Structures are given as C-alpha cells and as structure tokens.
Amino acid sequence: MSVIERIQSQLESNPVILYMKGSPDFPQCGFSGQAVHILDACSAKYAYVNIFEDPELREALKSYSNWPTYPQLYIAGELVGGCDIMIDLYQKGELAKMLSAANSVAE
C-alpha cells in the first residue's frame, strides 16, 4: 500500500482524524496541544496519527493536503485546517457543529 493509499484509508476509516506532533496524552508542540484541548472541549471522538512515528506519511501529507504545517484536522475526509483555523471555528461554535454532523461527539 502506498503512503497516499494509507492516508486515504485513514481518512475513510475515521470520521475525525488529527495528524499531530505527539499524541493527545503527550503533545510534542504547543499547536498540537491546543488542537487536542479544543477537540476535548468539544467532547470530540477522534483518531490521531503521530507524524513523528511515520516520516514518509509526514512528508506525503503536506503535498496531499497542500498544507505545510501540523497539526492538520480532517472531518469527514476533508481538511479543516490547522490550529489557528480550529481556534477560530471553535470560538464561532462552528467546530462543534461540524463534529456533530460527523457523529463524532461523545455522549
């Protein structure tokens, strides 16, 4: 399976997925930490990929998404954006609506 096929498989298998530096329990950059905090504040159910554990994916995802930085949040297979966009959507109440539409909010 090519790295692009792996990315596509991850996006298809997970309604919400965060490509981040580190893990939700141990974010390895401030932006990834903020992204996790925002998703937790929304009671989001999400998968994550630690890009440090897969250098091939880390490089391929930048061109796949046409987004050069991490974290990257995808909902329903679509790139939402990085930390700044997540903060903006969260503050407007839009992120919670997007997560709810993807059936990715904990009861």
Looking at residue 64, what is its pLDDT?
94
- Cα–Cα distance, 49 to 47 (Å, whole number): 7
- Cα–Cα distance, 16 to 18 (Å, whole number): 7
Domain 3-101 is found in CATH 3.40.30.10: yes
What dihedral do alpha carbons 28, 56, 82, 64 form, nearest 10°?
180
Looking at residue 1, what is its pLDDT?
85
42 annotated as belonging to a binding site for a ligand: no
pTM of the model: 0.96
Q: Are 75 and 51 in contact (CB under 8 A)?
A: no
- Report domain extents, the chain: 3-101
Kindly indicate the confidence band of residue 106, based on its pLDDT and cuts at 50, 70 and 90.
Answer: confident
**What is the mean predicted confidence (pLDDT) over 77-85?**
96
36-72: pLDDT as tens digits:
999 999 999 999 999 999 999 999 999 999 999 999 9
Looking at residue 76, what is its pLDDT?
96
